[in-house]
Amino acid sequence: MSERSAMMTAVVAAVMVLAVLLAAAPIVRGQSGFRPADVAEGERLYADFCASCHGADLEGQPDWRSVDADGRLPAPPHDKTGHTWHHGDGLLFAYTKLGGKAVMEAQGLDFDSGMPAFADELTDQEIRNVLAFIKSTWPERQRELQAVRTEAERLREQAGQ
């Protein structure tokens, strides 16, 4: 092989390596940015961080539909008898991370919420895991309806609303 063609071969090889790296970059980024939810860890976190208010069996607090003496709503159930499945993933995540007051305020509502923010206690992935555990307890119908809400939420976001 002449010196010139050896150099050409090296250049072509370098370009091919670069092309492969560029093509793989989004896949690698996607993998490190998003892990599939760990339902078993979510169950443990639920017991530690959520069960005291929302109930060990996700049953919520008694009379959760009526405000208490302080004018706040008690913690609702997270099982199919509650309304957690009426909300899309985005809202459930924001409610858990930022707390009820901040989420309501963002919608222009002055609301005294008993739902604390978990941003300092749980990572985003841990929040996703807890929510995945809650969802795993729902029957098929609730899971399907909630998935439709999530899709509607996504479309609203895409439309810039």
Interface positions with ligand HEC (CB under 6 A): 49-50, 52-54, 73-76, 78, 82-84, 87, 92, 95-96, 100, 113-116, 118, 130
- DSSP assignment letter at 72: -
Q: How many CA atoms lie less than 13 Å away from 49 in the CB half-sphere?
A: 24
| Closest by CA position to 129, among listed 43, 58, 6, 66 | 43
Q: Is residue 146 helix, strand or coil?
A: helix
Smaller CB distance to ligand HEC: residue 90 or 116? 116
Smaller CB distance to ligand HEC: residue 3 or 120? 120
- Least gap, CB of 10 to ligand HEC (angstroms): 56
| Closest by CA position to 78, among listed 124, 147, 146, 126 | 146
Smaller CB distance to ligand HEC: residue 27 or 38? 38
- Least gap, CB of 39 to ligand HEC (angstroms): 13
Cα separation, 148 vs 118, in Å, equals 26
- Least gap, CB of 111 to ligand HEC (angstroms): 7
Count of CB atoms situated within 10 Å of the CB of 65: 10
- Least gap, CB of 63 to ligand HEC (angstroms): 12
Q: How far is CA 20 from CA 11, 14, 16, 24, 28, in A?
A: 14, 10, 6, 6, 12
Smaller CB distance to ligand HEC: residue 1 or 128? 128
- Least gap, CB of 88 to ligand HEC (angstroms): 11
Smaller CB distance to ligand HEC: residue 3 or 128? 128
